[in-house]
Amino acid sequence: MRVAIASGKGGTGKTTVAVSLALSLAEYHPLLLDCDVEEPNAALFLRPVFTARHEVGQWVPAVDPAVCTGCGRCAEVCEYHAITVVGKKVFIFPELCHGCGSCSRQCPVGALHEELDVVGSLDQGQADQITFFQGTLDVGEAMAVPVIRQLKQWGLQSNVDQAQPVILDAPPGASCPVVETLRGADAVLLVTEPTPFGLHDLRVAVEVVREMGAARGKSLPVAVVVNRDGAGDDGVDAFCTAENIPILMRIPLERGIAEGIAQGRTLIEIYPEYRAQFDRLWQELVALQ
């Protein structure tokens, strides 16, 4: 079972939930993938021993000026405006390239070949019974999606047992990196705060989840965790009731929790009784399928 932990915005406690859930399921040897590649921080809490690393990137075209005739065919076929020809000179913009390879295939004289444009790295590690993977987008790089895609390809290779819990810690927001993380998930757990801002971002995130369900022709189960419960109003509760979205856990606004997390401790290290709650939450997510 693959569950993505997401939130409409950063700082809602998404990683706290993801890591605590993984720790509470340790006896089932879970897989945790930190897909928040712009700011991966699950490892700060999990403290895995890293065992493998490799660079990750995207294949982008490179031109051989001695062969190029300046015909402009490559620029014509690029849907993403990542390649342009001015005069007889070819200009390539790797940050716009989607690596589709059309330009290389369409070049009539074979003047284009593909080179790997490194945009980040992937790490694999082990934290006791938890197998951990994380992706890191290099500073200044904009393309998170290829890093997430390759992180999932690598990390999910070992997920041959359907019973193994797989937890995907998604980037915050509701844009393409989130969609890429949620792709292939069996359920989505949205972490939010009971405030008007939290409600706004929750609405957007629920919309994305439902659109993804519609696109695959089968609804994608979604549930909510309310973090910092007691901080705001009942808008999130009312929304979830109206939309028939179960709230599976409430984590209270409490100084002891905030201080513990700031010190790099997980929720179940701060309050071990949460282990049983996360275990129950997982069973409820499984039942939503």
Which residues lie near ligand SF4 (CB under 6 A)? 60-61, 63, 68-74, 77-78, 80, 82-83, 85, 90, 97-103, 107, 109, 111-112
Q: How far is the CB of 86 from ligand SF4 (least distance, A)?
A: 10
Q: In the complex with ligand SF4, which residue's Cβ is closer, 83 or 224? A: 83
Q: How far is Cα 12 from Cα 224, in angstroms, rounded to an integer?
A: 12
DSSP per-residue string spanning 15-37? HHHHHHHHHHTGGG--EEEE--T
How many of the other CB atoms lie within 10 Å of CB of 30? 23
Q: CB 150 → ligand SF4: shortest distance, Å? A: 17
Candidates 170, 167, 190; CA nearest to 178 is 170
Residue 268: Cβ within 10 Å count = 20
| Dihedral sign (CA 208, 211, 212, 213) | positive
Distance of CA 81 to the CA centre of its chain: 26
Give the residue with the Cβ less far from ligand SF4, 1 or 85.
85
**Considering beta carbons, is residue 108 or 140 the nearer one to ligand SF4?**
108
Q: To the nearest whole angstrom, how small is the minimum distance from the Cβ of residue 79 to ligand SF4? A: 7
Distance of alpha carbon 15 from alpha carbon 21, whole angstroms: 10
Q: Taking the complex as a whole, how short is the minimal distance between the CB of residue 99 and ligand SF4, in angstroms?
A: 5
Closest contact distance (angstroms) between CB of 83 and ligand SF4 is 4
Cβ distance to ligand SF4 smaller for residue 59 or 239:
59
Of 97 and 208, the one with the shorter C-beta distance to ligand SF4 is: 97
